[in-house]
């Protein structure tokens, strides 16, 4: 490397490193106008103090669902002080008690007692407070599928959606966020009869959209001309494989750090390739380490064959575990929404709808990490 191309030890390529944090909410949020407009429309009654429509945002990971809901929250706050907003990350708060505590804390400003108080008592105080304040509450239940695993989804939804029956004058609406919209068929009758949400799809981003969004982040986050055109294109290609923009944000940061590590003033394709390999294996090992033994068995069985029908997979699974179809079905749903396996209908088969299961990860990747 020529000296003029070398980065001095006190220099950096990053103009603004916040831009590459995952919780950074970008000003420029393109390619989601239709989705944002539908959410705005659903929440509009809140501007006049009414109860908004409920929403279901669905689509694969990294398609802007969480960010879109937070964008709308910011907008609401500009227009009105009638609305209180809370986002609950159900992956972290995965029980009814944790969810209600999170909401309570946000509305009341203090956390409820951590023990000795029932869900219903906390909910009671919350609903009365809302009536007192004369405020509308909009709750985002992000990654709500996590509430299903221990059977807490129904009670949370039931309480929030039917609050106005038990507490006349209270106004609560829910924005539920999931990867797989089929999740909502898991609600019991009491919930599904009142949860008739605006369904808003977030499709995978296409190459040109990804390229556009990455270009904007590059302009804001790096000093001018740091990222080469080839490096940018390669990032957009990698991200297109999954359509998951989270991968893109992570790639930008890691590629920049790689370039700094070798004291280069430019981020080039080598930096991106290295970053991609590292972030992918980190991502896979994180995902796999969160799986239970039964889930690990399934991922092994799926990765062994290029693709397998749900029926064949069940037979193999059952032969090794003796577990029945209901349990198998539950585990599969969880793995599909965690994006560990994909399930597409083949259109073939005697019953017309055979599900074809494929592993998202390669066999070698699974083998290496599940030893
Ligand atoms: N349309 C967009 N414009 C700019 N950045 C986006 C857009 N969509 C997603 N992102 C970025 O991609 C990352 C993942 O988005 P997120 O909202 O968390 O996706 P999801 O909730 O669907 O998994 C975030 O860092 C977010 O800022
Ligand atoms: Mg999200």
Contacts of 265 (CB under 8 A, 6+ apart): 5, 6, 7, 13, 226, 259
- Write out pLDDT tens, residues 193-221: 999 999 999 998 999 999 999 999 999 99
Q: Is 85 annotated as a binding residue?
A: no
**HSE value, Cβ hemisphere, 13 Å, CA-based, for 110:** 5
| pLDDT for the residue numbered 308 | 94
* Closest ligand 1 atom number to CA of residue 202: 22
Ligand 1: residue whose CA is nearest its atom 17: 64
- Write out pLDDT tens, residues 122-167: 999 999 999 999 999 999 999 999 999 889 999 999 999 999 999 9
Contacts of 228 (CB under 8 A, 6+ apart): 266, 267, 268, 269
Share of the chain above pLDDT 90, in %: 71
Query: Mean pLDDT for the chain?
Result: 92
Check whether 266 has a pLDDT greater than 90. Answer: yes
| pLDDT for the residue numbered 119 | 93
- Ordered by where they begin, the domains of the chain are 3-19+205-288 (1.10.8.60), 33-201 (3.40.50.300), 291-369 (1.10.10.10)
Check whether 99 has a pLDDT greater than 80. Answer: yes
Contacts of 260 (CB under 8 A, 6+ apart): 7, 12, 13
Place 299 in a pLDDT band, splitting at 50, 70 and 90: very high
Torsion-angle region of residue 211: left (phi > 0), alpha (psi -120 to 50) or beta?
alpha
Ligand 1: residue whose CA is nearest its atom 8: 64
For residues 145 and 333, give the distance between their C-alpha atoms in angstroms, rounded to a whole number. 10
To test ligand 1's pocket by mutation, which of 66, 67, 239 has the most ligand atoms within 8 angstroms of CB? 67
Place 17 in a pLDDT band, splitting at 50, 70 and 90: confident
Q: Is 292 annotated as a binding residue?
A: no
Whether residue 355 contacts residue 343, with contact meaning beta carbons closer than 8 Å, is answered with yes
- Quick one: which of 331, 242, 291, 299 has its CA closest to 59? 242
- Quick one: which of 346, 62, 89 has its CA closest to 203? 62
Is 31 or 180 the better-scoring residue by pLDDT? Answer: 31
Is 80 or 282 the better-scoring residue by pLDDT? Answer: 80
| pLDDT for the residue numbered 254 | 95
* Binding site membership of 26 for ligand 1 (Cβ less than 6 Å): yes
Place of tokens 């992918």: 280
- Write out pLDDT tens, residues 31-65: 999 999 999 999 999 998 899 999 999 998 899 99
Check whether 333 has a pLDDT greater than 80. Answer: yes
Overall size of the chain counted in residues: 371
| pLDDT for the residue numbered 340 | 86
| pLDDT for the residue numbered 313 | 96
* Binding site membership of 62 for ligand 1 (Cβ less than 6 Å): yes
Whether residue 58 contacts residue 177, with contact meaning beta carbons closer than 8 Å, is answered with yes
For CA atoms 88, 94, 96, 97, the dihedral sign is negative
Contacts of 4 (CB under 8 A, 6+ apart): none
Output the CA 41–ligand 1 centroid distance in Å.
21
| pLDDT for the residue numbered 351 | 55
* Mean local confidence (pLDDT), 227-255: 92
Place 179 in a pLDDT band, splitting at 50, 70 and 90: confident
* Binding site membership of 213 for ligand 1 (Cβ less than 6 Å): yes
Q: Is 228 annotated as a binding residue?
A: no
To test ligand 1's pocket by mutation, which of 144, 246, 337 has the most ligand atoms within 8 angstroms of CB? 246
| pLDDT for the residue numbered 130 | 97
* Binding site membership of 200 for ligand 1 (Cβ less than 6 Å): no
| pLDDT for the residue numbered 187 | 94
- Element spanning 127, H or E: helix 119-133
Residue list, CB under 5 A from ion ligand 2: 66
Q: Is 205 annotated as a binding residue?
A: yes
Q: Is 15 annotated as a binding residue?
A: no
Place 350 in a pLDDT band, splitting at 50, 70 and 90: low
Check whether 349 has a pLDDT greater than 70. Answer: no
- Write out pLDDT tens, residues 300-323: 999 998 899 999 999 999 999 999
């Amino acid at each position: 490397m020529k000296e003029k191309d070398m980065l001095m030890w006190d220099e950096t390529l990053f103009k603004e490193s916040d831009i590459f944090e995952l919780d950074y909410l970008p000003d420029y949020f393109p390619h989601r106008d239709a989705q944002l407009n539908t959410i705005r429309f659903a929440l509009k009654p809140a501007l006049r103090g009414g109860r908004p429509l409920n929403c279901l945002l669905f689509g694969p990971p990294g398609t802007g669902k969480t960010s879109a809901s937070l964008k709308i929250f910011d907008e609401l706050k500009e227009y009105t002080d009638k609305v209180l907003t809370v986002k609950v990350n159900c992956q972290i708060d995965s029980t009814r008690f944790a969810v209600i505590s999170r909401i309570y804390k946000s509305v009341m400003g203090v956390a409820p007692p951590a023990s000795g108080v029932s869900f219903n008592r906390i909910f009671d105080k919350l609903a009365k407070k809302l009536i007192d304040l004369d405020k509308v509450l909009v709750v985002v239940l992000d990654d709500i599928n996590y509430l299903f695993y221990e059977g807490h989804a129904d009670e949370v939804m039931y309480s929030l959606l039917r609050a106005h029956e038990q507490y006349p004058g209270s106004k609560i609406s829910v924005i539920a966020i999931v990867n797989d919209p089929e999740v909502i068929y898991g609600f019991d009758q009491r919930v599904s009869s009142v949860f008739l949400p605006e369904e808003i799809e977030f499709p995978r981003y296409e190459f040109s959209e990804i390229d556009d969004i990455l270009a904007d982040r590059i302009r804001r986050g790096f000093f001018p001309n740091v990222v080469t055109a080839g490096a940018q294109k390669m990032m957009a290609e990698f991200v297109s494989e999954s359509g998951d923009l989270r991968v893109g944000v992570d790639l930008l940061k890691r590629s920049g750090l790689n370039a700094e590590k070798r004291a280069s003033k430019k981020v080039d394709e080598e930096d991106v390739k290295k970053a991609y390999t590292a972030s992918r294996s980190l991502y896979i090992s994180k995902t796999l380490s969160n799986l239970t033994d039964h889930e690990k068995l399934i991922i092994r069985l799926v990765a062994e064959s290029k693709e397998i029908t749900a029926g064949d997979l069940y037979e193999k699974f059952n032969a090794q575990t003796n577990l029945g179809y209901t349990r198998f079905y539950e585990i599969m749903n969880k793995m599909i929404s965690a994006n560990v396996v994909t399930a597409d209908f083949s259109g073939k088969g005697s019953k017309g709808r055979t599900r074809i299961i494929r592993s998202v990860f390669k066999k070698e990747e699974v083998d290496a990490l599940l030893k």
